[in-house]
Amino acid sequence: MASSPVQTRPPTLTRRILLIHLKKTLPHFPAEVLRAGLEEIIACLADSLVRGGPVILRGFGRFQLRRYQNSTKTVGVVFRPSPGLFSRLNSGQSPPPTPRRRPV
């Protein structure tokens, strides 16, 4: 009897991982400045959704809050990927390599 292949889950992108990536790509900025900048960006995105506006990130996609008709308290965030991301998701392509910055 053949065993089924074990499916591994891709790593979850968290604030911590984003901050580590920012520290690697922007080493000349202090960690606290990067953390504050990341928190401010996340707060701005959340505020836009709370106000009912969409969040559009070019090349990535669009997030929008949707309220369901059967309940005034039930909401969901709808994500619509950009055409470029959509084709990458469907083709199974790995992401392009991250360009490395030269130290100044």
Interval 72-91: pLDDT, tens: 677 788 889 999 888 888 88
21, two tokens:
């990536």
Q: What is the DSSP letter of 71?
A: -
Look-up of token digits 């309940």: 71
User: For residue 99, what pLDDT band results from cuts at 50, 70 and 90?
Assistant: low
- Cα–Cα distance measured from residue 23 to residue 32, given in angstroms and rounded to the nearest whole number: 10
Span 28-40, average pLDDT: 96
pTM exceeding 0.85: no
Question: In the prediction, which pLDDT does 97 show?
Answer: 54
For the stretch 40-58, pLDDT in tens is: 999 999 999 888 899 999 9
Burial 62-78 (b: 16+ CB within 10 A, else e): ebbbeeeeeeeeeeeee
Q: At what angle do helices 31-50 and 15-25 cross, to 10 degrees?
A: 130
The mean pLDDT of the chain is: 83
Span 27-31, average pLDDT: 95
Q: Which of 21, 20, 35 is nearest to 98 (CA)?
A: 21
